[in-house]
């Protein structure tokens, strides 16, 4: 069976605006070039996969049903512009804060690569030809641990969390293969890099 390359996309600060614990539809805002970037992934034959930490679930700020509702809405916004996410993955856990079974160390919370590996298994993905785009050190570290290339996008973070290098949050972590000004720039570089 043919294996597909994928572009894994962080959600908050990469695909949509970072608002801090997104819990309502009216707070979900696509970046201006997000649909165009996802459309380019779709047209390239690569799979577009969202992989996002959602510890707000563990902290009791919102439920898994809210996250799933937000993903349905996000997909509708993208579809209206001719783009689509092939699958959404999220980690609801947190290692030190949270409620009940959600409070635990797990292999799916970035920087661990569990979501990427799960997607590879379920979607028949070729991780050796895949990429991850994110705005935080944990995204880049997850890509490194999964053995895939990564692109850091600037400007999606909350104030005080700019991903400029070097930065104390990067200490001891993997570095990106590329730094891009936007999601669209990142996708353009990936498509060029993937070509033989």
DSSP state string for 6-70: EEEE-SBTTTB---SS--SGGG--B-TTHHHHHHHHHHHTPEEEEEEE-TTTTTTSS-HHHHHHH
Domain count for the chain: 1
For residue 77, is it within any domain?
A: yes
Domain-embedded: residue 96: yes
Domain that holds residue 57: 6-119+150-194
Q: Could you tell me the CATH number of the domain that includes residue 74? A: 3.40.50.1000
Q: pLDDT of 54-82, one tens digit each?
A: 999 999 999 999 999 999 999 999 999 99
pLDDT digits (tens, 9 = 90+) for 42-56: 999 999 999 999 999
Q: What is the structure's pLDDT at 159?
A: 42
The model carries a pTM of 0.92
158 pLDDT band (50/70/90 cuts)? Answer: very low
Q: Based on the residue annotation, tell me whether 12 is a catalytic residue of this protein.
A: yes
- Angle subtended by helix axes 34-44 and 183-194, to nearest 10: 20
**CA–CA gap between residue 30 and residue 32 (Å, rounded):** 6
Q: Does a structural domain hold residue 45?
A: yes
List the catalytic residue out of 10, 86, 135, 139: 10
């Amino acid at each position: 069976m043919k294996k597909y390359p994928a572009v894994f996309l962080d959600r908050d600060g990469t695909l949509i605006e970072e608002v801090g614990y997104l819990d309502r539809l009216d707070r979900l805002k696509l970046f201006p070039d997000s649909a165009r970037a996802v459309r380019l992934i779709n047209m390239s034959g690569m799979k577009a996969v969202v992989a996002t930490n959602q510890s707000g679930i563990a902290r009791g700020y919102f439920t898994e049903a809210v996250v799933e509702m937000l993903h349905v809405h996000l997909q509708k916004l993208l579809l209206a512009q001719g783009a689509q996410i092939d699958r959404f993955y999220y980690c609801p856990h947190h290692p030190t804060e949270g409620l009940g079974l959600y409070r635990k160390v797990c292999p799916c919370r970035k920087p661990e690569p569990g979501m990427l590996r799960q997607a590879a298994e379920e979607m028949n993905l070729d991780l050796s030809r895949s990429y991850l785009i994110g705005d935080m050190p944990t995204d880049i570290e997850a890509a490194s641990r999964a053995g895939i290339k990564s692109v850091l996008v600037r400007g999606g973070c909350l104030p005080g969390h700019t991903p400029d290098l070097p930065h104390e949050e990067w200490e001891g972590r993997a570095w990106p293969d590329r730094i891009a000004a936007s999601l669209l720039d990142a996708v353009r570089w990936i498509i060029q890099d993937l070509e033989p």
